[in-house]
Amino acid sequence: MSTGTDILITLQTFTKQDGEISKYDRKFEGQLFQMGNSIYLRYTEDDDKQEKAVVTFKINNNGGIQLTRKSKEMRMQLFFENNKRVSATYRTPYGEIPIETVTPLLSVNISDFPLVGTVNIDYFLYSGGNLLGEYKIRLQFSV
């Protein structure tokens, strides 16, 4: 698995900001690979409304997850650990914005034969002590 395995990713996100709820539902072709004790899921978001972005989920063996979303103009790194408040940064063309996540739900299930898995993350996003929104990520993958 260290050279990378092609996978199909089904991603759903639910966002609640300012009382409004939105849903995002897409499928991506991506790759899964293992480096050391961590598993990486990577795919490229590419649609007409936004610039292309490479998205990586790093699943650590301690259960924590690091989500990186990187495009030409911005880079966002979020860290998720069960029931912990974790600091992160959102780099924009205008500078870095300090952000924090609080994760009440984090679960990862991966099986090898056949290679399939799910990642479920519910989190709150804060900046400057203010709640920016509530988010849910539901990711499934298979070969």
Q: Whole-angstrom Cα distance, residue 100 to residue 129?
A: 8
DSSP calls for 95-107: EEEEEEEEEEEEE
Q: What is the reported pLDDT for 1?
A: 41
49 to 46, 55, 101: CA distances (angstroms) = 9, 17, 26
pLDDT in tens, 74-115: 999 999 999 899 999 899 889 999 999 999 999 999 888 888
Q: Whole-angstrom Cα distance, residue 16 to residue 114?
A: 35
Q: Whole-angstrom Cα distance, residue 74 to residue 71?
A: 5
CATH number of 5-142: 2.40.128.20
Q: Which residues of the chain have pLDDT under 50?
A: 1-2
Q: What is the reported pLDDT for 141?
A: 94
Q: What is the reported pLDDT for 60?
A: 93
